[in-house]
Copies of this chain bind each other. A is one copy, B any other.
């Protein structure tokens, strides 16, 4: 980083682009770019090929300079003060990146015979989505499908996955299309419902591949979407409690899928 200019203004074009990508789904889509924050995410070997620009504060550069594997042209240095302004967190590490959104996979390439998939339908909370992706990765699920959810490259989703979003296969697609694709590949689709008369989760046979569909945090799955699935099941609960929260239910389901 010899002769490099220290950027202090939030009007710098790269800094402005970072903030726009951080705040706006539309900007991410139009530019085909998304952002990362944090040393762990920005320096992970799985993210390196996607990084177009690393934005790093003076203090962070001193601390992490031996972890930076990018050419100088792909790095800009900013003041600590500007880093604080850019950050989404209270105590920023001062490491930011602008990354290229990977090319979209074809549905037919995404679904393989005998695979195990989790389908998130209308989930809105980015932290829930992030946690599900992280857990699915840890449990060796083959892919995560997002339908009518918040954007996969929302910074809160990306951070919540702790990098799993770059390891596990993901796709954003239409619900009817993915259900058709599962049907074509001979994969049974299951709707997770809150309905005591349905079969119990523990009685489902996931051994020959499966696609499990989880609905919105507050309202669950719509009647129409449940009917598109081959089967439905419920997590049997004790006593009076209304339901698990969405990510707890997802964890139990993912665990049973991989068990």
- A residues 135-172 with Cβ under 8 Å of B? 135, 137-140, 162, 164, 167
Q: Is A238 within 8 A of B135, CB to CB?
A: no
Cβ-closest chain B residue relative to A244: B138
Enumerate chain B residues within 8 angstroms of A239, measured Cβ to Cβ.
Answer: 137-138, 140, 167
Residues of B within 8 A of A238 (CB): 137-140, 258
Q: Residue A255 at the B interface, CB < 8 A? A: yes
Partner of A135, one of B164, B242, B248, B259: B248
Chain B positions within 8 Å of A240 at CB level: 167
Q: Is A91 located at the chain interface by the 8 A CB criterion?
A: no
Q: CA–CA, A240 to B258, complex, Å? A: 16
User: What CA separation (Å) do A237 and B255 show in the bound complex?
Assistant: 11
In the complex, are the beta carbons of A164 and B248 less than 8 A apart? no
Copies in the complex: 2
Most buried by B among A243, A251, A259: A251
A residues 207-254 touching B (CB-CB < 8 Å): 237-245, 247-248, 251-252
How far is B164's CA from A245's CA once the two chains are assembled, in angstroms?
A: 13
Instruction: Assess A244 versus B135: contact at CB under 8 Å? Given A202-B259, A251-B252, A252-B251.
Output: yes
Interface status of A28 (Cβ within 8 A of chain B): no
> For A164, what are the chain B residues with a Cβ–Cβ distance below 8 Å?
241
CB distance from A236 to the nearest CB of B (A): 9
- Cα A7 to Cα B137 with chains together (Å): 53
In the assembled complex, 10 residue pairs joining A and B whose CB atoms fall closer than 8 Å, in A order, are A131-B248, A134-B244, A137-B239, A138-B237, A138-B239, A138-B244, A162-B241, A162-B242, A247-B248, A252-B255
